[in-house]
Amino acid sequence: MSAIAKEVQTSKDLDLRGTLGISKDVPVGFESIHLHFDVAAPEATPEQLRGLQEKTEQYCVVMQTLLRPPSLQTEWVSQD
């Protein structure tokens, strides 16, 4: 199967009142992320396109990191 990603669009929902510290009731960060893929694969069957979607999502490092966040550690060192 030959496929070409013609365009990938992203949109995000973000309320800057949280990020800017204007409102403590609004979370810091994105509330949602939307991805739209425009793929040209004229010879592909619907089943092949589903497989392409599954593999793309399975091996997308950014998507998998967002779905399953890694542990995060911070360290602060005071320079007295």
pLDDT in tens, 29-57: 999 999 898 988 888 999 999 999 999 99
Q: Please report whether residue 55 resides in a domain.
A: yes
- Asked, for residue 35, whether it belongs to a domain, the answer is yes
Residue 1 pLDDT > 80: no
Look up the domain containing 46 and give its range.
Answer: 4-67
Does residue 73 lie within any of the structural domains? no
Residue 78 lies in a domain: no
Number of domains, the chain: 1
Confidence category of residue 8, pLDDT binned at 50, 70, 90: confident
Closest C-alpha to 55, from 37, 30, 42, 31? 37
- Which position has the higher pLDDT, 6 or 23? 23
* Residue 43 dihedral angles phi and psi, to the nearest 5°: -95, 0
Predicted TM-score of the model (pTM): 0.67
The gap between the terminal CA atoms of the chain, to the nearest Å, is 62
CATH number for the domain including 19?
Answer: 3.30.300.20
In a domain, 27, yes or no: yes
36, part of any domain: yes
Q: Does pLDDT of 11 surpass 90?
A: yes
